[in-house]
Amino acid sequence: MKKLLISVAAVLLLAGCTSNYDDSGIKARLDAVETRLNELEGNIRSLQSAIGEGVFVAKVQEYADPDTGKTVGITVTYTNGDVKYFEISPKADYTAPVLGVIKSGSGDLVWAIDGVAIKIDGKEVPVYQTPVFTIDEDGNLLVSIDGSDPVVLGQVQNEGATLVDGIFTDIKVEQDKVVLTLSDNTKVNIPFAEAFKLNIETTGFTFSTLDPIEIPYSVSAKTSGTVVGVAGYNPKQFTVKVEADKIVVTPVTMKSSAVLLAYADSKVGLTSLVNLTVEAEGVEVIDTPYSGTVDYMAEGEDAIVVANVVSNVEFDVKPQAEWITLVSVKAQAYVITLALANNETGALREGTVNIVKKGTDTVIQTITIAQDKIIPGPKDLGKKETANSYIVTAAGDYKFAPVKGNSTESVGAVAKAELYWETYNNAEEVTVNSVIAAVSFADGFINFSTPETLKPGNAVIAAKDANDVILWSWHIWIPATEITTNTNGIYSVPMMDRNLGALVAAPADAEAPVESYGFFYQWGRKDPFPGPKATSGSSFAKTTGPAPSQIDGDGATEACKITLEQSIQNPLLMGRANNGDWITPADNTLWVDESKTMYDPCPPGYRVPARLSDQPLHSGDFTAVAGWAESKDNHIFMMGDPVAVFPFAGYCDDYDPAGGVAKNGLRVLYWTAHKSDDKAAYGMNVREATSGGNAHKLSTAGKSRAGSVRCVAE
């Protein structure tokens, strides 16, 4: 479009016409209108800019009349850097001529005076043409365009008239456009632009061959002079070619890696930068993102985020929010575990975690985590996953749904919930309600509270029906020290640092305390039996409530076994059979290798370990496993790197009519989820070297023997 120019002489028409021509009068009026012409040219140039092609509004600033509050003008900044001022001259009755713009019959915008289109040679003058006004020596007003012969419009009159700018009668700034109203109510819309931006959907790229990598792109609010390029790479590592709609990056070697800086330059002061990470195979988060902007959504309290990534390059993980803490990075499968501080801000919050090249600050990948606020009320221990046992590490109020283990199956019509038994895992007399202060059933949940000062120990809570029959029971585990999980080369997934029910982990360089022994479990059962009260002797740890019991008999008949229903209704009743099963009829599905079952005794996120014959934990000769050592004095054996410590916790004999603990401090049986047959299952059988023969291997044992469980991560 041509740039609109109006000579000073053009304004003479607007000064008026007179029959008494006076050259000195015209000259005076000419001087008087020059200032007004300069003001008018602002709106003329702004109109040209408004109806031009490819121009968009980047920013608007309004000006209002201080008396009326009505907007009288705006300054518009375009995406090409141009700035224009638009002034409002509201419609009114004027004695002076008014220069304006109207829409012609054909729909074009044309110049007009007092609402009448200007015509030259019978044709209206469109706004993109330049009318030039002059006055001849006789005082006639002439107009011409593009050097054409002048056309006489009449004589100058009304010597005292004032020039009036009537181009814009109203201006409105709307959500997506600026609306200009011209003198005949014609509307001119100037759209707001998108932000000038280089759009690249995927910014992390990996490669396993030297084939070209095509990276599609687009540019929002692109200007005619926009240039897209790439910087920040070594030509010895990559060749880069920028095409109209894609960037083609070709690695030179399989060791090539770089963060490329892709940029778009508008050439009018706007730029947009995008970092592109390209390296062999690279690091990639393989979990499905929570949303378009958030990778993981976490709860407000006790939240753990586990991010699964694939990579063949070494990397570091750097949380960018102080409430996110790196827990671990599994070296082989690259499972990143992050702990989140409780969100006590009262609102949803977001934070990022950068995955960077090892030893540098070069960002390879960014993980965005959103965390909800803490929800008031008792903490739901089974919100993420229900189980037969729950870990409590802080004093407070808690609840869980009355469902069977890690299923959604209801336990039945619960009439009440009661504290069944408590223990400190040693010989100390136990005070009732010292571990669990109160238990109730309300609003469809089992509710319980701890004392204000948390007491390390264990408890079992039972749900009962209206006839006082136990429908199901749950183990509440309150350790004295933090439970950790470690990958130490003896099992394929992280393993707890202690036995199920143990209050502390056994040390590697000192005597294992009885509190590290934990509980005993018959194979396939969900409910625990107390551990020993000391590192020697046959007595169970002191408890409140019922004592462990067995079916009377010699242990060789079906009469000494119990049903699954009996085991649920009587959690401390031990079925017996000499080197056999405790249950009738036999059930080999109570624990299985493939998954965590309804009867698995481990807390949420953990399970009884599957038997994996290729793992050192299930070796035929533990003494050949890296890190193997045993200590009779300390009642432990160890293996792995770093070492996992296993105390000689003993077991409950399956053939002793008197029941009780056997071989504590000397032997131990650690169950796996793998059955052998209807009578036996596999476990880690270890005997201290001077106790009944030297056994250090995975072997079978009768299912009715109650051994230890070392939970592993699911």
Half-sphere exposure of 126 (CA within 13 A, CB side): 9
Check residue 559 and give its pLDDT: 75
Which residues, in sequence order, are CB contacts of 66 under 8 Å at separation 6+?
none
Check residue 401 and give its pLDDT: 96
Check residue 29 and give its pLDDT: 41
Put simply, whether the predicted model's pTM sits higher than 0.85 gets the answer no
Q: d(Cα 197, Cα 212) in Å, to the nearest integer? A: 25
Check residue 313 and give its pLDDT: 67
Q: Encode 486-508: b = buried (16+ Cβ within 10 Å), e = exposed.
A: bbbbbbbbbbbbbbbbbbbbbeb
CA-nearest of 127, 120, 62 to 99 is: 127
Measure CA of the first residue to CA of the last residue in the chain; give whole Å.
70
pLDDT at 10 over 60: no
Q: What is the mean pLDDT of residues 400-413?
A: 96
Check residue 225 and give its pLDDT: 77
Check residue 299 and give its pLDDT: 87
Instruction: Decide which of 176 and 319 is more confident.
Output: 319
In the numeric block, which tokens belong to residue 219? Answer: 């540019």
pLDDT at 8 over 60: no
Q: d(Cα 471, Cα 453) in Å, to the nearest integer? A: 31
Check residue 24 and give its pLDDT: 46
Q: d(Cα 390, Cα 382) in Å, to the nearest integer? A: 8
Check residue 154 and give its pLDDT: 63
Instruction: Decide which of 155 and 665 is more confident.
Output: 665
Least confident interval from 54-68, 125-139, 498-512? 125-139
Q: What is the mean pLDDT of residues 648-669?
A: 81
Q: d(Cα 487, Cα 497) in Å, to the nearest integer? A: 10
Q: d(Cα 80, Cα 93) in Å, to the nearest integer? A: 38
Q: What is the mean pLDDT of residues 403-412?
A: 96
Q: Counting Cβ atoms within 10 Å, is residue 174 exposed (0-12), middle (13-18) or buried (19+)?
A: exposed
CB 623 within 8 A of CB 639: no
Torsion of CA 284, 288, 291, 297, to 10 degrees: -90
Per the prediction, the chain carries an average pLDDT of 84
pLDDT at 500 over 90: yes
Which residues, in sequence order, are CB contacts of 442 under 8 Å at separation 6+?
none
The model's pLDDT over 102-122, given as tens digits with 9 standing for 90+, comes to: 888 888 888 887 788 888 888
CA-nearest of 222, 219, 231 to 262 is: 231
Amino acid at 109: L
User: Which region, left, alpha or beta, applies to residue 302 given φ > 0 means left and ψ of -120 to 50 means alpha?
Assistant: left
Amino acid at 86: F
Instruction: Decide which of 478 and 619 is more confident.
Output: 478
Percent of the chain with pLDDT over 70: 83
Check residue 5 and give its pLDDT: 32
CB 163 within 8 A of CB 40: yes
Where do the domains of the chain lie, and which CATH numbers do they carry? Answer: 8-191 (no CATH), 197-280 (2.60.40.1080), 283-371 (2.60.40.10), 377-714 (no CATH)
Q: Torsions phi, psi of 230, nearest 5? A: -135, 135
Check residue 43 and give its pLDDT: 73
Q: Which helix (H) or strand (E) holds 38?
A: helix 23-50
CB 423 within 8 A of CB 430: yes
Q: What is the 3-class SS of 650-676, one letter each residue?
A: EEECCCCCCCCEECCCCEEEEEEEEEC
Which residues, in sequence order, are CB contacts of 585 under 8 Å at separation 6+?
none
CB 652 within 8 A of CB 529: yes
Q: d(Cα 268, Cα 222) in Å, to the nearest integer? A: 11
Q: What is the mean pLDDT of residues 146-154?
A: 75
Q: Torsions phi, psi of 564, nearest 5? A: -60, -40
Q: d(Cα 275, Cα 490) in Å, to the nearest integer? A: 41
Length of the chain: 714
pLDDT at 428 over 90: yes
How many other β-carbons are positioned within 10 Å of the β-carbon of residue 133? 20
Check residue 135 and give its pLDDT: 61
pLDDT at 707 over 60: yes
Q: Torsions phi, psi of 301, nearest 5? A: -130, 140
pLDDT at 7 over 50: no
CB 251 within 8 A of CB 109: no
The model's pLDDT over 528-585, given as tens digits with 9 standing for 90+, comes to: 999 999 999 889 999 999 999 887 655 556 778 899 999 999 999 988 766 688 999 9
Check residue 28 and give its pLDDT: 43
Which residues, in sequence order, are CB contacts of 431 under 8 Å at separation 6+?
544
Instruction: Decide which of 405 and 286 is more confident.
Output: 405
Check residue 155 and give its pLDDT: 59
Least confident interval from 218-227, 420-429, 466-475? 218-227
CB 159 within 8 A of CB 18: yes
Instruction: Decide which of 212 and 557 is more confident.
Output: 212
The model's pLDDT over 219-243, given as tens digits with 9 standing for 90+, comes to: 887 766 789 999 988 999 999 999 9
CA-nearest of 572, 683, 551, 534 to 617 is: 683
The model's pLDDT over 338-353, given as tens digits with 9 standing for 90+, comes to: 999 999 898 999 999 9
Confidence of residue 17 (pLDDT cuts 50, 70, 90): very low
Q: d(Cα 9, Cα 29) in Å, to the nearest integer? A: 11
Confidence of residue 332 (pLDDT cuts 50, 70, 90): low
Check residue 656 and give its pLDDT: 57
Half-sphere exposure of 163 (CA within 13 A, CB side): 25
Confidence of residue 93 (pLDDT cuts 50, 70, 90): low
The model's pLDDT over 285-329, given as tens digits with 9 standing for 90+, comes to: 889 999 989 999 998 888 999 999 877 567 899 999 999 999 988
Check residue 525 and give its pLDDT: 97
Check residue 305 and give its pLDDT: 94
Check residue 334 and give its pLDDT: 81
CB 531 within 8 A of CB 519: yes
The model's pLDDT over 56-68, given as tens digits with 9 standing for 90+, comes to: 787 777 777 778 8
Which residues, in sequence order, are CB contacts of 430 under 8 Å at separation 6+?
422, 423, 424, 457, 542, 543, 544
The model's pLDDT over 504-535, given as tens digits with 9 standing for 90+, comes to: 999 999 999 999 999 999 999 999 999 999 99
